[in-house]
Protein backbone atom coordinates (compact mmCIF):
# COMPACT_ATOMS: atom_id res chain seq x y z
CA UNK A 1 0.00 0.00 0.00
CA UNK A 2 1.32 3.42 -0.88
CA UNK A 3 2.29 5.51 2.13
CA UNK A 4 0.13 8.38 0.93
CA UNK A 5 -2.84 5.97 1.04
CA UNK A 6 -1.96 4.53 4.45
CA UNK A 7 -1.60 8.03 5.89
CA UNK A 8 -4.34 9.73 3.84
CA UNK A 9 -6.23 10.81 6.99
CA UNK A 10 -3.09 12.45 8.37
CA UNK A 11 -2.35 14.21 5.07
CA UNK A 12 -5.97 15.40 4.87
CA UNK A 13 -5.80 16.91 8.38
CA UNK A 14 -2.45 18.51 7.63
CA UNK A 15 -3.77 20.06 4.42
CA UNK A 16 -6.90 21.36 6.17
CA UNK A 17 -5.03 22.88 9.12
CA UNK A 18 -3.46 26.04 7.67
CA UNK A 19 0.05 24.68 8.00
CA UNK A 20 2.61 27.01 6.49
CA UNK A 21 5.11 25.59 4.01
CA UNK A 22 3.51 22.17 4.26
CA UNK A 23 5.58 19.49 2.57
CA UNK A 24 4.37 15.91 2.20
CA UNK A 25 7.05 13.99 0.36
CA UNK A 26 7.70 10.29 0.04
CA UNK A 27 11.42 9.68 -0.08
CA UNK A 28 13.15 6.29 0.02
CA UNK A 29 10.17 4.53 1.57
CA UNK A 30 9.53 7.16 4.23
CA UNK A 31 6.79 9.79 4.18
CA UNK A 32 8.22 13.11 5.36
CA UNK A 33 5.73 15.65 6.67
CA UNK A 34 7.03 19.13 7.40
CA UNK A 35 5.63 22.54 8.04
CA UNK A 36 4.71 25.09 10.66
CA UNK A 37 1.42 24.69 12.50
CA UNK A 38 -0.54 27.79 13.56
CA UNK A 39 -0.65 26.59 17.18
CA UNK A 40 0.25 23.73 19.51
CA UNK A 41 -3.28 22.24 19.32
CA UNK A 42 -2.90 21.61 15.58
CA UNK A 43 0.48 19.97 16.10
CA UNK A 44 -0.92 17.75 18.86
CA UNK A 45 -3.90 16.80 16.69
CA UNK A 46 -1.55 15.70 13.89
CA UNK A 47 0.37 13.50 16.32
CA UNK A 48 -2.87 11.99 17.63
CA UNK A 49 -3.95 11.05 14.11
CA UNK A 50 -0.50 9.70 13.27
CA UNK A 51 -0.60 7.55 16.43
CA UNK A 52 -4.02 6.21 15.46
CA UNK A 53 -2.85 5.20 11.99
CA UNK A 54 0.43 3.71 13.24
CA UNK A 55 0.11 2.83 16.94
CA UNK A 56 3.26 3.79 18.88
CA UNK A 57 4.88 4.84 15.57
CA UNK A 58 6.44 1.42 15.20
CA UNK A 59 6.35 1.19 11.38
CA UNK A 60 9.03 3.84 11.01
CA UNK A 61 7.62 4.92 7.65
CA UNK A 62 6.85 8.53 8.63
CA UNK A 63 9.09 11.33 9.84
CA UNK A 64 6.92 14.25 10.97
CA UNK A 65 8.59 17.53 11.82
CA UNK A 66 5.96 20.15 12.50
CA UNK A 67 6.92 23.32 14.33
CA UNK A 68 4.50 25.77 15.91
CA UNK A 69 4.45 29.29 14.47
CA UNK A 70 3.67 30.94 17.82
CA UNK A 71 7.09 29.82 19.01
CA UNK A 72 8.65 33.20 18.23
CA UNK A 73 11.07 35.42 20.06
CA UNK A 74 9.47 37.24 22.96
CA UNK A 75 6.52 34.86 23.28
CA UNK A 76 5.70 32.64 26.21
CA UNK A 77 5.91 28.90 26.44
CA UNK A 78 4.86 26.25 28.92
CA UNK A 79 7.29 23.65 30.24
CA UNK A 80 5.90 20.26 29.18
CA UNK A 81 8.27 17.81 30.79
CA UNK A 82 6.82 14.51 31.99
CA UNK A 83 7.23 15.09 35.74
CA UNK A 84 10.65 16.51 36.31
CA UNK A 85 12.05 20.02 36.15
CA UNK A 86 13.47 21.26 32.88
CA UNK A 87 17.19 21.92 32.94
CA UNK A 88 18.36 25.33 31.86
CA UNK A 89 21.89 25.18 30.56
CA UNK A 90 24.74 27.58 29.91
CA UNK A 91 24.88 26.67 26.23
CA UNK A 92 22.86 24.71 23.65
CA UNK A 93 23.85 21.10 24.42
CA UNK A 94 23.35 18.52 27.14
CA UNK A 95 27.11 18.63 27.71
CA UNK A 96 26.71 22.21 28.95
CA UNK A 97 26.54 22.93 32.69
CA UNK A 98 23.10 23.38 34.26
CA UNK A 99 22.53 26.97 35.35
CA UNK A 100 18.91 26.69 36.48
CA UNK A 101 15.68 24.72 36.37
CA UNK A 102 12.11 25.41 35.29
CA UNK A 103 9.25 23.48 36.87
CA UNK A 104 6.76 21.40 34.88
CA UNK A 105 3.92 23.68 33.65
CA UNK A 106 5.94 26.82 34.44
CA UNK A 107 5.55 29.61 31.88
CA UNK A 108 8.82 30.99 30.57
CA UNK A 109 9.83 33.58 27.97
CA UNK A 110 11.45 32.56 24.66
CA UNK A 111 14.35 34.93 24.01
CA UNK A 112 15.95 33.54 20.86
CA UNK A 113 16.25 30.26 19.03
CA UNK A 114 19.78 28.85 19.01
CA UNK A 115 18.93 26.09 16.55
CA UNK A 116 16.20 23.54 15.81
CA UNK A 117 16.74 21.90 19.18
CA UNK A 118 17.54 24.71 21.62
CA UNK A 119 15.89 27.93 22.79
CA UNK A 120 17.51 30.64 24.86
CA UNK A 121 14.88 31.36 27.55
CA UNK A 122 14.23 33.41 30.66
CA UNK A 123 12.36 32.00 33.64
CA UNK A 124 9.98 33.86 35.94
CA UNK A 125 12.85 34.10 38.43
CA UNK A 126 14.92 35.90 35.82
CA UNK A 127 17.28 32.99 35.13
CA UNK A 128 18.52 32.85 31.55
CA UNK A 129 19.88 29.88 29.65
CA UNK A 130 19.22 27.24 27.06
CA UNK A 131 16.33 24.72 27.10
CA UNK A 132 15.55 21.78 24.86
CA UNK A 133 12.82 22.98 22.44
CA UNK A 134 10.88 19.72 22.58
CA UNK A 135 9.86 20.43 26.18
CA UNK A 136 8.44 23.87 25.45
CA UNK A 137 4.90 24.36 24.16
CA UNK A 138 4.05 27.87 22.96
CA UNK A 139 1.03 29.42 24.65
CA UNK A 140 -1.40 32.00 23.27
Partner 1 sequence: MTMTLKNVISVLAISCSLAIATVSCKSKVSDADLKSRIESIVTSTPGVTVDVKEGVVTLSGTVNSEAEREAIENSAKAVDSKNIKSVVNNITVNAPTVEINTDDADLAAKVVDATKDFPTVKATVKDGIITVTGTLEQSRVQVLKQSLDALSPKKVDIAAIEIK
From the list 5-13, 22-30, 98-106, 121-129, the region that binds partner 1 by CB under 8 A is: 22-30
Binding mask 82-101 for partner 1 (x = CB under 8 A): x-x--------xx-------
Binding mask 26-45 for partner 1 (x = CB under 8 A): -xxxx-x-x-----------
Closest distance of CB 99 from partner 1, Å: 16
Three-class DSSP labels, 20-65: EEEEEEEECCEEEEEEEECCHHHHHHHHHHHHHHCHHHCCCCEEEE
Binding of partner 1 by 69 (CB under 8 A): no
Q: Residue 50's CB: how many other CB atoms inside 10 A?
A: 20
Q: How far apart are CA 47 and CA 64, in angstroms?
A: 8
Binding of partner 1 by 21 (CB under 8 A): no
Q: How far apart are CA 24 and CA 122, in angstroms?
A: 35
Helix (H, G, I), strand (E, B) or coil at 8: helix
Residues lying near partner 1 in the complex (CB under 8 A): 23, 25, 27-30, 32, 34, 47, 51, 56-61, 63-65, 81-82, 84, 93-94, 116-117, 132-134
Amino acid sequence: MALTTKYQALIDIAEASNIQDLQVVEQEGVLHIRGTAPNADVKNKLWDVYNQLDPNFLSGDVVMHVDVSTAVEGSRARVITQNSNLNIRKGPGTDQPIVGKAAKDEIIILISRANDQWWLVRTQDGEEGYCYAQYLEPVG
